[in-house]
Amino acid sequence: MTVEAEAQPADTPDTPFHRIGGAPVFAAICNRFYDLMEQDPAYAELRAMHAPDLAPMRAALPKFLGGWAGGPRDWFEANPGRCMMSVHKSFAIDQAVAGQWAEAMRRAFADVAPEPADLAAAIGDILADLARGMGRE
């Protein structure tokens, strides 16, 4: 058990979601991710695949990631049985665009800098792997 986990208040669940700061931190990371996608031409291809209005994604992604990391299950309850890999099957995701997603997400984590840093880095690594797994070879 890590020092951070030992310091956790007894009434706070010991999940990655709660340990890195809960819903406000997931919202900040996802907003930074979509800001980067909108502002940095390095992610133009990734941006073009998304709908013109990113507001629905700014709401959906933190809900999905928060539930995935052990937080409230709202997204999963609203979308029973929806598989993330299947959701993405209809998009032409090659390794270049998967790499754009992974890099923008890594930068979003770095810019928000949630603590504990080792847990944040581990989550960022897993998301980057998931994104690459969605890219066709």
Contact flag: residue 120 with ligand HEM (CB under 6 A) = no
Contact flag: residue 112 with ligand HEM (CB under 6 A) = no
Residue 94 CA to residue 137 CA, distance in Å, equals: 7
Pick the piece of the chain touching ligand HEM (CB under 6 A) from 12-20, 31-39, 59-67, 115-123: 59-67
Contact flag: residue 25 with ligand HEM (CB under 6 A) = no
- Looking at 28, 60, 119, 121, which residue binds ligand HEM (CB under 6 A)? 60
Residue 18 CA to residue 54 CA, distance in Å, equals: 26
Q: Where are the alpha helices (DSSP H) in 7-116?
A: 16-19, 23-39, 44-49, 55-68, 74-78, 84-89, 95-112
Residue 69 CA to residue 42 CA, distance in Å, equals: 28
Contact flag: residue 30 with ligand HEM (CB under 6 A) = no
- Looking at 42, 57, 110, 119, which residue binds ligand HEM (CB under 6 A)? 57
Contact flag: residue 49 with ligand HEM (CB under 6 A) = yes
Q: Which is nearer to ligand HEM, 18 or 128 (CB)?
A: 128
Pick the piece of the chain touching ligand HEM (CB under 6 A) from 25-33, 36-44, 82-90, 111-119: 82-90
3-state secondary structure of 136: strand
Neighbours of 17 (CB within 10 A): 20
Residue 33 CA to residue 100 CA, distance in Å, equals: 11
Pick the piece of the chain touching ligand HEM (CB under 6 A) from 2-10, 19-27, 81-89, 107-115: 81-89
